[in-house]
Each structure stands twice: as C-alpha cells, then as structure tokens.
C-alpha cells in the first residue's frame, strides 16, 4: 500500500528546530511519507541526514513584514502544486497558506503551535502587528480539526479563547548518545554555566546572565551556544565589561553536535522573564535538553518550568532576577556539593520519563487514525 504523504511547513531554521525534526522523524517512522518545507537563511547550516525529505526556500527579504509576506506567498504556490495527502502547519506564520490550500484542495490540515504566538515579546511593542496576527488567528483557529501544542498552560490559553480541543506534545528530546568529545580545554577546572538555544532574544535573560558574571568568582565560566536578536549586543557588552576570558560564545550548532557540549556543563540556565504572555505559559526546550544531558537546572519560576523542577527535583528556581542576586543563588547552589550530587541523581531518574521515546506516544495516537 502506498504511504500517505504529509507536507510539513515551518518558517524557522530547520536544522536547529529540534521539535520539527523529531516530529517529522516520528511520522516517517510511523509510515508516512514526510516532506518538509522550510526557509533558507543567509547563515543556514547544511541540512542534516534526515530519514524524511527536507527542502528550503530562499527569500529575498530578510526581515520585517515583507519577509513573512514573501515566504507565505512562496509557500502558498509550493503547497498548491505539491503532491500530498495531508498538510501540517507549524505556528501561525505558516498557517494562512496551509489553511487556504487545505480548503482549495480539500486536504486535511494538522496544526502544531509551538508557543502562544500573539503573546511573544516581538509583538508587544507593535500593536498593529499584534492585531494583524490576532485577527488571522481568530479567523482560522476555531476551524482547525487537529491542534496540538507544547504545554498545558499554552493549551489552556487557546482553549479559553476558542474552545478548540487541543492535545499536548511536549518538547522532550531524544535520549542523546554519550558525548563524543572531551570537556573543552577552556572549561577544565571551571564551574561552567550554560545558556543554549537559538532564541537568546529580549526577555530571555541573556544580558542578565552576562552581567551576573561580574559578581561570580573567577572559576565560574559562562557559555552561550546558539544565536538570537541579542547575540551581537552580548558580544559587545562582553568586551566592554572585560569578560572575554570568562564568557564563551559558540554560534548555533546542529542538534547532534550541541548534544556533545551540554553534558560537560555544571549548570544549565533557563532565564525567561515574566514580561509577556508567551513566556508565562512556555516550557522551553532547553529545560529538557539539560535534563537529558544529566545536568542540574537553574531557572526563573515560570509556572510550567517550576512545576517540572519541583516535581522531579532537577534543580532550583531563582528567587530573584537581578544579576547580583542571581549570582549569589547560583554560587550557593554549586558550592553545596552534597546537594548538587542529590540533584544529579534526581536528574538521572527524570531522564527515564522526560524523553521523546515516552512523549512521542501522544503524537502517534494523534496521527495513527490517518495512516
């Protein structure tokens, strides 16, 4: 019997979007013929060796309204003529063309919303853009047949607005193989604090963590791995504050390479703020990446994050978010060797539950009827 084909759309950087890669891989394993359409950026990494077919469209416009307009127009015509049985849209910025094509071609549409889209900080300072996306969401969301999202809190926000049935498929990582690299030389003998993720943007604690290093002893070493809107500003501040020898910046890595670095850190940082609706309901990927790598977590007490940390005892929530106070709390934790060892034991236990091999069963139940 011929496999059912599902065409997946996403505007993010495909090679570092671990959620999209995991879901496409699982659908392919189930027996679907998966075709992923993403966007090519100027600094895009090469596509990985995936079990599914992936391609990227290069756009002329790089930012602002025009980049979304161009991508969505290109995506519309791509979906209009592609051979497919089903469509899967990832986030609101690919939903409109996917929904229109689903109606025109009578194709079934799945929707994966990775966040509370209209609550992201990038829209907070632009009421006109926020109104546009909200009106688009209001027009389409109630008509979607299958929706799933990343956390119970995001689900609750959308159900309060639309009453649409929503499933939760959390961003749990695939258990990684043992690291294939030794601890980097610069990390040896240091207490390494790690902040990883492509979205080191406003409100995610990037600058606060850098300033925090001014209040920590010299044997503390901060590592950023990823990118984001504040990447260059952090680089400039690092030089201005004389922290080049204590703060390392590693640009984005493919997931299989990133997993080699994470286990060598002493503490993973997740410092999203409370300034916007999306952060308040978020459950960041990096929280589970740290756990699967076997390292404790220090995080701001966002409701979903706090619940995981307290339920499994995998770290601690910061009582304050000012750099000096964060530094004191982190130093207190890492210098209590006995407590750190207990937390590491808790992390190893949590790994057995908080991983994709367990979580993907939810995804399989959603798609199985359509095989």
Q: Which are the contacts of 173, defined by CB distance < 8 A and separation ≥ 6? A: 18, 22, 285, 288, 289, 292, 355, 356
Lowest mean pLDDT among 60-74, 231-245, 261-275, 318-332: 60-74
In a domain, 178, yes or no: no
Does one domain contain both 224 and 115? no
Per-residue model confidence (pLDDT) at position 304: 92
Answer yes or no: do 258 and 158 share one domain. Answer: no
Give the per-residue pLDDT at 112: 98
pLDDT surpassing 90 at residue 7: yes
Please give the residue range of the domain that contains residue 307. 185-351
Same domain? 106 vs 194: no
Of 72-81, 171-180, 183-192, 353-362, which range is least confident?
171-180
Residue 177 lies in a domain: no
Interval 277-321: pLDDT, tens: 777 888 888 999 999 999 999 999 999 999 999 999 999 999 987
Adjacency order of strands within the sheet including 191-197:
247-251, 220-226, 191-197, 267-270, 297-299, 315-317
The pLDDT of 37-55, averaged and rounded, is: 90
| Token representation of residue 192 | 């390494």
**What is the side-by-side order of every strand in the sheet holding 146-149?**
53-58, 33-40, 5-9, 86-90, 108-113, 146-149, 167-168
Q: Domain with 360 in it: what CATH number?
A: 3.40.50.2000
Q: How many domains does the chain have?
A: 2
Residues 167 and 194 in one domain: no
Q: Which of 197, 218, 324, 336 is nearest to 316 (CA)?
A: 336
- Within this chain, do residues 244 and 273 fall inside the same structural domain, yes or no? yes
Statement to judge: residues 13 and 72 lie in one domain: yes
CA distance 276 to 117: 11
Flag whether 179 is in a domain: no
pLDDT of residue 198: 66
CA–CA distance, 242 with 214 (Å, rounded to integer)? 9
- Summarize the confidence of residues 318-334 as an average pLDDT: 94
Mean pLDDT of the chain: 93
Same domain for 252 and 324, yes or no, is yes
Residue 327 banded pLDDT, cuts 50, 70, 90: very high
The tokens describing 135, both together, are 């009106």
């Amino acid at each position: 019997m011929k496999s059912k084909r599902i065409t997946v759309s996403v505007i993010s950087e495909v090679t570092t979007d671990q959620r999209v890669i995991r879901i496409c891989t699982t659908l392919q394993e189930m027996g679907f013929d998966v075709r992923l359409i993403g966007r090519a950026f100027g600094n895009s990494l090469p596509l990985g060796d995936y079990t599914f077919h992936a391609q990227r469209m290069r756009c002329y416009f790089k930012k602002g309204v025009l980049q979304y307009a161009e991508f969505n127009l290109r995506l519309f015509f791509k979906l209009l003529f592609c051979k497919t049985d089903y469509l899967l849209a990832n986030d609101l910025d690919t939903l409109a063309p996917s929904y229109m094509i689903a109606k025109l071609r009578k194709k079934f549409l799945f929707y994966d919303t990775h966040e509370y889209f209209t609550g992201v900080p990038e829209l907070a300072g632009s009421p006109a853009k926020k109104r546009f996306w909200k009106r688009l969401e209001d027009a389409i969301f109630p008509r979607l047949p299958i929706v799933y999202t990343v956390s119970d809190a995001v689900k609750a926000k959308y159900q309060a607005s639309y009453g649409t049935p929503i499933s939760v498929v959390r961003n749990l990582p695939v258990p990684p193989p043992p690291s294939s690299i030794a601890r980097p030389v610069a990390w040896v003998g240091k207490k390494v604090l790690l902040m990883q993720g492509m979205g080191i943007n406003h409100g995610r604690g990037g600058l606060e963590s850098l300033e925090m290093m001014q209040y920590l002893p010299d044997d503390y070493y901060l590592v950023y791995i990823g990118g984001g809107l504040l990447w260059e500003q952090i680089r400039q501040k690092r030089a201005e504050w004389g922290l080049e020898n204590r703060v390392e910046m590693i640009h984005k890595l493919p997931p299989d390479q990133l997993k080699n670095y994470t286990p060598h850190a002493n503490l993973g940082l997740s410092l999203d703020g409370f300034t916007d609706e999306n952060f308040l309901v978020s459950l960041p990927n990096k929280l589970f990446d740290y756990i699967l790598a076997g390292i404790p977590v220090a995080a701001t007490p966002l409701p979903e994050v706090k619940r995981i940390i307290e339920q499994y005892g995998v770290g601690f929530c910061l009582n304050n978010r000012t750099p000096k106070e964060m530094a004191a709390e982190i130093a207190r934790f890492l210098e209590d060797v006995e407590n750190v060892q207990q937390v590491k034991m808790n992390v190893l236990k949590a790994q057995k539950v908080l991983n994709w091999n367990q979580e993907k069963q939810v995804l399989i139940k959603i798609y199985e009827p359509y095989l």
